[in-house]
Chains A and B, each alone.
Chain A
Amino acid sequence: MAQLSARGERDRSAALAIEVARRAAATPWWRRVAVRRYLFGYTLLAPAVLFVLVLVGLPFLFSLYLAMSDASVGDPVARFVGLENFRAALQSSAFWSSLRNTVVFTVGAAICKALLGTTLAFLLMQPFRGKKVVRALIVMPFTIPIAVSALGWKWMFDSQFSVINWALSRLHLIGEFGTAGWPVWLGQPGLALGSVMFVNVWRSFPFGAIVLMAGLTSVPPEVIDAAKVDGANFLQRFRKVIVPMIAPILFVGGLFDTVFTLSDLSIVYLLTNGGPDGATEILPTLAYQVGIKAGALGRGAAISLFLFPLLLPAMILLLRNLRRREW
C-alpha cells in the first residue's frame, strides 16, 4: 500500500514536471519570469542610462572627435589629424606648466579642504549657542555666485588697495606699500598660485564639512561610546571607527570635489587669467584660451582631454574601494 502511494506520488511529480516543462516550452521567451524580471529592471534603469549617454557619452565622443581633427570655430568641415593635436600640446611649454599647476592646484587644495573640512565638521557637531546661525554662515562661501566672490577676492588681493595688506601693514607684519616687503598676491608666481588655491579652498571646504557632518550623524553614538570605554582617544576613534564607517560618503564627496577642482576654470580666469607668465595657468583655462578665444577647437579639445587620464585613475580607485566596502 505504502509502495503504491509512493509510486503515485512520483507519478504526480513527474506529471507536474512535464506540465511545467510543457508550459515553459509553450511560453514565449519574453514572458518568462527571469526575462521579465531583467526586462523590468533594465526598463527602470533605461532613463538614467539614456541620460548619461546623451549628456555625458555623446559630448565625450564629440570632444574626442574634435581632438583628433583640425576643427576651428569658423570651419564646419574638419579634417582627421590623428594624434597631431595631442602632440602639439605636448610640444608646448605652456601646456607642461599648466599641467604642473593643475596637479599642484588640485592636490594642494584637496589636502587643505580635507583638513579644514574635517575640523569644521567636528566643531559644528559640538553643542554651542547659535549653532544654527554659525552653520548657515559657514556654508555661505559655497552659495555665493562664484563671479561675485572671485571679484571680492580680487579686491582683497589688489596690489594697491588690498585690505589684507593694509591690515598686515598696520600690524607691522609686512612692510609699507611700495616697499619690497609688500606682498603682491596675484603678481608673484608662488603667491599667485597660492592665492587662487586659497579661494578655491575657501569656497569649497564648507561642502566637505557638510558631507562629513552628514556621515558623522550616521555613526551610532553607542559605537563611539564603546570605543571610548575601550580607551580609544579622539584620533584613534576617528581613524579606526569613524572613517571606516563613513568611508563611502567620504569617497563620494572626495570624488565630487576632485572633479570640481580639476575642472574649475572660473577662479583662475577671474583672478589672474593664468598670469603672471603662466604661473597660475591650468589646463581648463589654457583649453578655453586656445579652443574658444583663439578658435582652435581641435587643439583646445585635446588640451582639455588631458584632464581625463588625470581623473580616470582617481575615479577607478575610489569606485573600486567603494564597491569592495559594499560587500
Chain B
Amino acid sequence: MAELTRRDFMRVSGTALAGASIATMLDARQAPAQNRGTTLRMITWSHFVPAYDQWFDKFAREWGEKNGVKVLVDHIPNLELPARYAAEFAAGAGHDLIHFAAQILTGHYYKNLVDMGDVAEPLGKKYGGWMEAATSPAQVNGAWYAVPDYFVPIPVLWRKDLLDQANLATPDTWDKLRIAARTLKAKGHPTGMQFSHCNDANHNWRAVLYCFGARETDPSGQYIILDSKETRETLRFAKALYDEGMTPEVFSWDDASDNRYLASGVACWIHDAISAYRTTQDTNPEVYKSTYVLPEAAGPAGERKNVGEPTVFAIWKFGKNPVAAKELITYLADHQVEAMTASRGFNMPFLRAQYKKPMPVIGEDPKLSPMQDIEKITAFAGYPGPMSPPAQEVVTTFVIPDMFTRVARGQNIDETVKWGVGEIRRIYAKYKAA
C-alpha cells in the first residue's frame, strides 16, 4: 500500500471537505457564509427577447441581495462572445460565470473550466434527468464542464389560412411543405429558408438533413458519415424546394429576413425560432392569427429532428467566485418556469421534469402547445456526435449551408457532396492531428 504523506492527506481531505460543503450547500439551497460580501461577475449574450435580459438582471440582482453577493451582469451580442472569451482566457482574468450561446466552446476550453458535475448531476436527479441532447454542448469525454441553461428550438411556422384556401393539409412532412410552397408560390406566397452565411442557415438545412436520415458523424463524433444516399436525397429535395417554392432572395437572407418575410404576409411558411411568431404578433396581428407552429416536419421515413440553439453556463478555473456562480446556476434552474415566461416561450428547458404540461406560455397558447414535446426531437449541430471543436468549425465556416447553396444554384450533387465532405474531413483531420 502506498504511503500516505501528511501533504497528501491534507489535500485529499481538504478537497473532500470542500466538495461536501458545496454539495450540502446546494442541496440545502442556502448560500454559504463565504459568499457574503463577494462579487460575482457574469457575462451572457444580449437575448433576442430584450424583456428576458431585464428579467434576468433583476432575478440575479435579487438573488445576490438575498445571499450577500454583488452580482454584475454584462450582456454583449452573441457574435462577439467568442472573441471576448479568447481575450479572457489569454489574460487569465475575466468573468466568474460565462455563458456560451451560438458558439459552444466547451470542447475548446474544457481543460480550463471547472468541473460542473456537482451542479449538473444533482439537477438531473431532481428534475427527472437531462434530455438526451443536453450532453452534446455541456460534456467532454463524459464529464460535465458546463451546465445546460436553455435552448432555442427552430420550428415550422405556417399560414393556416393560405393552406386552407388551397385545400392543403397540415404540413407535417417536408414533402407537404414542398407541395404547399409550390402551390402557394404561384399565388404570390412562396416560402424561404436561408441559403446564406447565417445561423439560421446552419440550423435549417441541418434539420432537413437529419429528418432525411443523413448524419454528419458517427455518435463518437470521430468519423464523417455525411457521404451517403440520404445526404444526396436531401440535396435533391432542397433543389426542388428552392426551384418550386422559393425566390432568389433567400441567397441574401440574414437571420431576421425570414421573420420579416412572415410578418410582411408574403411567406406561406418559414422555419425559424418563435421570435418570428412574436414579431408577427406585434407587427401584423392579422397574419399572426393564422400563423401556426409545428415542432418539426417529418422526413421520408417519418423521422423528425429539430436542430436548436443551445446555451450553457461554464466557469473559468481562474474565476474568483465559483461557489457563488454554481449557486446562481442552480437557483436559475429551479426557476425555469419564470425564465420561460420572461422569454415569452423562447427559452426551452433541458431538464425533463420541466416539460410537465401545461408548460408556461407555450402551454397556454393552443397554436404553440405542440412545442411542449420538442425535447423528444431536439438535436444540435454535429448530431449524433457532440458539439466538439471540429463540429463547431464546420458550423462557423458554413460548409453545410454552402453545400445546399451550390446545389440550389445548379451544381452537380455528387460533386457538391465530394466538396463538402472533403472540407469537413479536412477540418476534422486537423483536430485529430493536434
Contact = CB atoms under 8 A, between A and B. Distances in A.
Interface of A: 70, 72-76, 79, 84, 88, 91-94, 154, 157-161, 178, 180, 182, 184-188, 192, 272-278, 286, 289-290, 292-297, 299
A250 to B, nearest CB: 36
26 contacts: A72-B108, A72-B389, A88-B430, A94-B397, A159-B257, A160-B264, A161-B260, A178-B247, A186-B252, A187-B248, A187-B252, A188-B248, A188-B251, A192-B252, A272-B197, A273-B197, A275-B198, A275-B401, A275-B405, A276-B196, A276-B252, A276-B405, A277-B405, A286-B397, A290-B393, A295-B389
Contacts of B110: 74
Interface in B66-120: 82-83, 85-86, 89, 103, 105, 107-112
Given A74-B112, A187-B196, A94 B252 contact: no
A76 B396 CA distance: 22
B197 A274 contact: yes
Nearest to A191: B252
Closest 4 CB pairs of A and B: A187-B252, A159-B249, A187-B251, A275-B197
Interface residues of B, number: 49
A185 B264 CA distance: 20
Most buried by B among A76, A184, A276: A276
Contact of A160 (B107, B266, B392, B430): B266
A274 B405 CA distance: 13
Q: Is the interface of A mostly helix, strand, loop or mixed?
A: loop
Contacts of B249: 159-160, 182, 184, 187
Contacts of A292: 82-83, 86
A185 B196 CA distance: 13
Nearest to A88: B430
Interface string B363-407: 000000000000000000000000001001100111001100110
A176 B293 CA distance: 31
Given A73-B86, A74-B108, A295-B389, A159 B253 contact: yes
Contacts of A76: 89
B350 interface: no
Contacts of B195: 187, 276-277
Nearest to A185: B252
Contacts of B83: 292
Contact of A294 (B389, B402, B406): B389
